[in-house]
Structure 1
Amino acid sequence: MSHARADLAPDAALSRGEMEDLQREIADVALFEDDFSFDPSALSNPLEATASGAEPPIVVGIDQSFLTNDDGDQDRALSAVVAMRGGEVIERVHAVTPLEIPYIPGLLSFREGAPILAALEELSVDPDLLLFDGSGRIHFRQAGIATHMGVVRDVPSVGVAKSLLCGTPVEDTDGLPAGTTIGIESNARVDAPDGTLLGYAVQTRQYDSPNRYINPLYVSPGHRVGPETAADIVLELASSYKLPEPVRLADQYADEAKKSLGE
């Protein structure tokens, strides 16, 4: 994989203001609508792709873990990448790189982006879709890690976050039935006109009990995917777990790779 927009790659040497300006530039470049060649229905039903004579799309899940030094401080990121086609894992790779800056809300891609790009370089296959454990357009400057990495690579991408960074749900999201989607619109915390559809709260699973419930995922387009399609993709790829399968397996693989390094 090559960097289509290497000039927009994360640079930890930038000041905070320069990072935020770069995110605004990335948001201007990003395409928050469908622009891909595969059939999303083939993600969960590869027989449809086979029947049409096409290969099922390659979906890549990406997650991060962190390694510590002798003082117990996090000093390296382990980026785990799992590539799937037709519901089967076809490749797993990871990369370990130094962490150059601390965690700063809204600037996650400058801390974790370089490690992720390094891991993607290890792939021998070309992804049709990237799924990130993190935000896309649901971001203060509409450029979360899924948007930043998607634009740099120019690959369709989707952000799948476990918590809501910003924006306002158009309805209550507590105790939603599985399969429900609730729009997330921009508010005063987002560099977008109020009411802009940023993504969806997506309920992939729910307990069959009135006394406990599973919170939704917050799904948003990263690049070259529209918000509705992003939500549909996550529902298509969720199995018996809350997270879509490529992201869940990347999370699992990150733990395996970390243990293999003695952490």
Structure 2
Amino acid sequence: MSTPRSDLAPEPGLSREEMERLQREIADAAVFEDDFPFDPATITNPLEASANAAASDLETPEAADRSQPPIVAGVDQSFLDDDRALSAVVATRAGEVIERVHAVTPLEIPYVPGLLAFREGGPILAALEELSVSPDILLFDGSGRIHFRQAGIATHIGVVRDVPSVGVAKSLLCGEPVEDTENLPAGTRVPIEADSSVDAPDGTLLGYALQTRQYDSPDRYINPLYVSPGHRVGPETAADVVEALATSYKLPEPVRLADSYAEEAKSLVEPETDHEN
């Protein structure tokens, strides 16, 4: 994959002030509306893929070309120890895995809320370099526009690579839901709007709390995901894509597969040796 905006790549050696300034540049460069050549309606999960494949057998070659599903890549990260990260990318098309790659890189700064891209961005960019396919859209286990400076990891990497991207976070970093998000029925979307904690006018739509699945029991419930545009995707489409890729799990399938592969790949990595006497 190319890196059109390598000048905006996360640099862990920057001061906090410099990191925050760079994030504001990222937000200014980001496009928080649909800007891609594929039809998002062709994005499917494994449960729908076989049915769609059967239907495509009846199409003309010209129609089949127009409806070719995009390559969707899930991105997640795991940690081998306090000093090394393992970043995993799983590329899928029409619900099928077409490539899995990972990279191991040093961790150079501790976790700081709002500065995740400077800790994990370098490892993720290294993993993306290993891909032989070019994803049409990236899904990150992390925030996009739902971020203090509108530049979560999905936005940062999406802008650096200039690839449509979506943030899928398990908790709300900032912003304000317009209504209660507890015990929502599956399929519910609650808008998340900017408040005083966000570098955006109050009321700006940042993304959605999206309930991908829910228990039937009244005694327990599943929290929603917090879905936001990263780059070249609007908030509605971001939620549509994540909902389309949800199966029986809370996470969209490409992100869930990346999470699983990150754990699997740990067994392939040599332990770090201490060369001191």
Q: Percent identity?
A: 77
- State which of 45, 56, 70 in structure 2 corresponds to 1:57: 70
Q: Does 2:161 align with 1:148?
A: no
Letter in 2 for 1:148: H
What corresponds to 2:274 in structure 1? none
The separation in 2 between residues aligned to 1:224 and 1:80, in whole angstroms, is 22
- State which of 160, 170, 173 in structure 1 corresponds to 2:168: 160
Letter in 2 for 1:209: S
The separation in 2 between residues aligned to 1:260 and 1:126, in whole angstroms, is 24
The separation in 2 between residues aligned to 1:184 and 1:196, in whole angstroms, is 8
- State which of 45, 60, 80 in structure 2 corresponds to 1:67: 80
The alignment partner of 2:80 has SS state of strand
What corresponds to 2:26 in structure 1? 26
Letter in 2 for 1:219: V
Larger radius of gyration: 2
What corresponds to 1:71 in structure 2? none
Q: Does 2:35 align with 1:35?
A: yes
Q: Give the CA deviation at 1:67.
A: 1.1
Letter in 2 for 1:57: P
The alignment partner of 1:184 has SS state of strand
What corresponds to 1:222 in structure 2? 230
The separation in 1 between residues aligned to 2:21 and 2:93, in whole angstroms, is 37
Q: Does 2:81 align with 1:81?
A: no
The separation in 2 between residues aligned to 1:136 and 1:21, in whole angstroms, is 17
Q: Give the CA deviation at 1:259.
A: 2.4
Q: Give the CA deviation at 1:262.
A: 6.2
Structure 1: unaligned runs, 5 residues or longer:
69-73
**Cα RMSD after superposing both structures:** 1.3
Letter in 1 for 2:16: R
What corresponds to 2:99 in structure 1? 91
The separation in 1 between residues aligned to 2:93 and 2:243, in whole angstroms, is 17
Q: Give the CA deviation at 1:261.
A: 2.5
The separation in 2 between residues aligned to 1:262 and 1:121, in whole angstroms, is 21
What corresponds to 2:8 in structure 1? 8
Map Cα deviations across residues 182-231 of structure 1 (whole Å, 9 max, x no partner): 00000000000000000000000000011100000000000000001100
Q: Give the CA deviation at 1:37.
A: 1.0
The separation in 1 between residues aligned to 2:191 and 2:35, in whole angstroms, is 21
The separation in 2 between residues aligned to 1:6 and 1:227, in whole angstroms, is 25
The alignment partner of 1:218 has SS state of strand
- State which of 217, 228, 232 in structure 2 corresponds to 1:209: 217
- State which of 89, 93, 107 in structure 1 corresponds to 2:115: 107
Q: Give the CA deviation at 1:13.
A: 1.1
TM-score (norm 2): 0.91
Structure 2: unaligned runs, 5 residues or longer:
272-277
Deviates more, 1:38-47 or 1:89-98: 38-47
The separation in 2 between residues aligned to 1:205 and 1:41, in whole angstroms, is 20
The separation in 1 between residues aligned to 2:268 and 2:103, in whole angstroms, is 13
